Amino acid sequence: MDIRKLPAHQGLAWFRLAIDLGSKNPRAVFGAALLLISTLYAAVLVMALVLSLLVGGASRQGQQPDMKLVMLVALALAMLIIFLVPILLGGLMHVVREAEAGRPVRARDIYAPLRSEHGQKLAWLGVVQVLLAMFGGALALGLAGTDYWQDYMKAAEVAMQGGTPVLGEPRHPGLLFVVQMAFNYFSYALLLYSIPLMLFSDRSLLQALGAALRAAVRNATANLLAAGLFIGALLVGALVAGLVAGLFGLLGGLIHPTVSAALATLVMLGFATAALVLIAGAACFAWRDTFGDPAAEPPPVPVHHIEA
């Protein structure tokens, strides 16, 4: 697969395009992001309900809950949610792509990949993310040392009990920071490139992962510039959203605590929606510029004569 070499400033172009995203069809784009959040939230609620029924049913019968069964059910439900995340992200990218191309699309088209063979394959990216998380955890454990993580767990327990935690230093703090940054970059690049490669470019899981890895290396400067801009924008946005949520919470508290909580939740929900749209849009633009989008490129002009 051809991977275009892009200049570093292309990351700034992706950031600008993502900021303007949704102007052509805001109802579909932002509605799809809201559906993504709502779907994942509903899945977590179902998981909590099932687990509470298992534990509560045993307690009502005067028995201790079977923790092995509870952990097994929790693991199965958590894996289902992990499988669902890349599919819904692919659906959001589908809505973004169609809206930016000027084609008719609706917010509920975020579920289109669930009916697509290519979209269903996206679930395997959830397994890849689990494996990467396990590898990253083992790598961090080896660099920081087992003593550091034991002290970290003790400090977390002390903090939960209201005490003042004392955290030691990892064995190789500088190396640990560099390795974690590099690991996070490649893991996110693999996910965000592989989704459109599988969904739009008709690539298999292994083909998409290989192409995503090569693109992460070949266009590292553009990707890192875009990542830095987005992290900065999200930090500023989170700070502003927190201040606005606090202000609305105070104003709503003058009416009723429920109104206060509802207004603060709406503000943070709006921030999360905008952040999702930015990330999905930037990933689509990066995939398009790196690999090309056949649906956006003009068809070849047929030749009916021979020119000398």
Task: Provide the pLDDT for residue 165.
Answer: 64
Indicate the DSSP class of residue 301: P
Q: How far apart are CA 27 and CA 73, in angstroms?
A: 37
Highest mean pLDDT among 62-71, 121-130, 294-303: 121-130
Q: How far apart are CA 178 and CA 176, in angstroms?
A: 6
pLDDT band of residue 296 (cuts 50, 70, 90) is low
* Residues 16-59 pLDDT 10s: 999 888 788 999 999 999 999 999 999 989 888 887 877 766 55
pLDDT band of residue 70 (cuts 50, 70, 90) is confident
E-assigned strand segments in the chain: none
- The residue with tokens 């809950």 is 65
5 contacts: CB under 8 Å, gap ≥ 6: 218, 219
Looking at residue 17, its amino acid is L
Is pLDDT of 77 > 70?
yes
Q: 166 with 154: CB under 8 angstroms?
A: no
Q: How far apart are CA 251 and CA 249, in angstroms?
A: 5
Rounded to 5 degrees, φ, ψ at 57 are: -65, -40
Looking at residue 224, its amino acid is L
pLDDT band of residue 167 (cuts 50, 70, 90) is low
Average pLDDT over residues 217-235: 94
Task: Provide the pLDDT for residue 302.
Answer: 42
Q: What angle do CA 217, 223, 228 make, to 5 degrees?
A: 135
Share of the chain above pLDDT 90, in %: 48
Q: What share of the chain is helix, strand, coil (3-state, %, to 5)?
A: 80, 0, 20
pLDDT band of residue 308 (cuts 50, 70, 90) is very low
Nearest to 236 by CA among 226, 228, 246: 228
Buried b (16+ CB within 10 A) or exposed e, 234-271: beebeeebeebbeebbeebeeeeeeebeebbeebebeb
pLDDT band of residue 92 (cuts 50, 70, 90) is very high
Highest mean pLDDT among 5-19, 45-59, 169-183: 5-19
Is pLDDT of 304 > 50?
no
Task: Provide the pLDDT for residue 257.
Answer: 85
Q: What is the pTM of this model?
A: 0.84
Q: How far apart are CA 58 and CA 47, in angstroms?
A: 17
**CA distances (Å), origin 26, targets 32, 89, 274:** 10, 17, 11
